[in-house]
Amino acid sequence: MDDRDSPVVRRRDLLGLSTAALAGAVTVTAPGGAAPAVAAPYAPEQEAEVTPPEDLMREHGVLKRLLLVYREGIRRIESGERAPARSLNAAARIIRGFVEDYHEHLEEKYVFPRLREAGRLTGTVSVLLLQHRRGRELTGRILAATRRTTGARAAHTLVADMAAFVRMYEPHEAREDTVVFPAFREVVPAKEFLRLGEVFEDEEHRRFGPRGFEGVVDQVADIEKALGIYDLSRFTPPG
């Protein structure tokens, strides 16, 4: 794909245009020598910016879907079926590459230090950091266990590891969404907040290519389809 077509460049171009238009709102002289009038800035079709918390929260949406993949794996193993090793391994690889190496890296580099400096939620941040480390340990074991078809004993350990991961990350991400990210917004000045949005966006495309987040969502959808849990209507209770 041509660089100019990539979402990040497109967004940057639109932002550049609108910022310039707003900063230097075109001055025109009204007919008949009347006082100069300020023309409304030309408003091209604009794509609203993704702010850092929105970025992090949609990444949590990916994590939530991967937790549902783990749940399906647990359900199958516990009901005596074979572990869907290939799908679980694909999910664990996205957790390693997207959630741990990327999303949690952003939290640890940009979010948690700002809260610590401001003396906000310091106890919570310590727990979240410890949970990131425990999560990596669990993911390491899940990756190893799903590299090949697992025997009964290994499947039992795999279930325990996936269950521990789901149990930890449901409250972890919910706390970040409802308490940590709102506090982060409060301690970061508005201008820097917008700049960080661009930093996050650049990092996303550097790591995951032109399609960035959308490409990762497609990979998760493929795993869900392979497991038969993609169709949303499947989860609607009968009326």
- Nearest-approach distance from CB 232 to Fe ion, in angstroms: 24
Is the CA virtual torsion 51, 56, 58, 59 positive or negative? positive
Whole-number Cα distances in Å, 86 to 66, 123, 195, 239: 14, 38, 39, 35
CB of 86 vs Fe ion, minimal distance in Å:
26
Chain residue at closest Cβ approach to Fe ion: 176
Buried b (16+ CB within 10 A) or exposed e, 104-139: bebbeebbbebbeeeebbeebbeebeebbeebbebb
CB of 23 to Fe ion, least distance (A): 35
Asked if 117 and 186 touch (Cβ cutoff 8 Å), the reply is no
Closest distance of CB 215 from Fe ion, Å: 20
Residue 129 Cβ vs Fe ion, minimum distance, rounded to whole Å = 8
Angle at 92 between CA 233 and CA 175, to 5 degrees: 70
Backbone angles phi, psi at 37, to 5 degrees: -110, 150
Neighbours of 9 (CB within 10 A): 14
The minimum distance between CB 75 and Fe ion, in angstroms, equals 25
3-state secondary structure of 188: coil
**Which residue, 222, 229, 231, is CA-closest to 90?**
222
Pick between residue 53 and residue 73 the one whose CB is nearest to Fe ion.
Answer: 53
The distance of closest approach from Cβ of residue 139 to Fe ion in the complex, given in angstroms and rounded to an integer, is 13
Q: Which is nearer to Fe ion, 52 or 73 (CB)?
A: 52
Q: Which residue number, 106 or 155, has a Cβ lying nearer to Fe ion?
A: 106
Name the residues that contact Fe ion, by CB under 5 A: 107, 128, 176
In the chain, which ranges are continuous DSSP H helix? Answer: 7-23, 52-78, 85-94, 104-106, 112-117, 122-145, 152-175, 181-187, 190-208, 212-227
